Amino acid sequence: MLKSIAKTLTAGVSCLGLTAAPALAQSPGTFVYTVVVPAGEFGSAAFLAELLATLAAAKAFCRATGDSALQVDCLSERLEAAAGGIPEGTDYDEVRSVLEDTSGRLKRLARQNRDPDRRRVTVSSATDPAERTARPLTPVRASVQAAVNQEATRILEEAATVLLRSAETAQERQTQYAQIAAAIDSNKVLLRS
37-62 residue pLDDT tens: 444 445 678 888 999 999 999 999 99
Report which of residues 190 and 24 the model is more confident about.
190
Rounded to the nearest 10 degrees, what angle do helices 71-84 and 145-167 cross at? Answer: 30
Query: Rounded to whole angstroms, how far apart are CA atoms 173 and 140?
Result: 36
Report which of residues 2 and 163 the model is more confident about.
163
Query: Rounded to whole angstroms, how far apart are CA atoms 77 and 73?
Result: 6
Query: Rounded to whole angstroms, how far apart are CA atoms 131 and 116?
Result: 27
Question: Is 23 a residue whose pLDDT tops 80?
Answer: no
Per the CB < 8 A criterion, the answer to whether 117 and 142 are in contact is no
Query: Rounded to whole angstroms, how far apart are CA atoms 93 and 27?
Result: 35
Rounded to the nearest 10 degrees, what angle do helices 171-185 and 45-64 cross at? Answer: 10
Find residue 137's DSSP bridge partners.
121
Helices (H), 65-170: 71-84, 93-112, 145-167
pLDDT recorded at residue 173? 79
Among 143, 148, 135, residue whose Cα is nearest residue 117? 143
What is the mean predicted confidence (pLDDT) over 120-143? 89
Poorest-pLDDT segment among 6-20, 84-98, 131-145, 152-166: 6-20
- 24: Cα separation from own chain's centroid: 38
Query: Rounded to whole angstroms, how far apart are CA atoms 184 and 178?
Result: 10
Report which of residues 5 and 83 the model is more confident about.
83
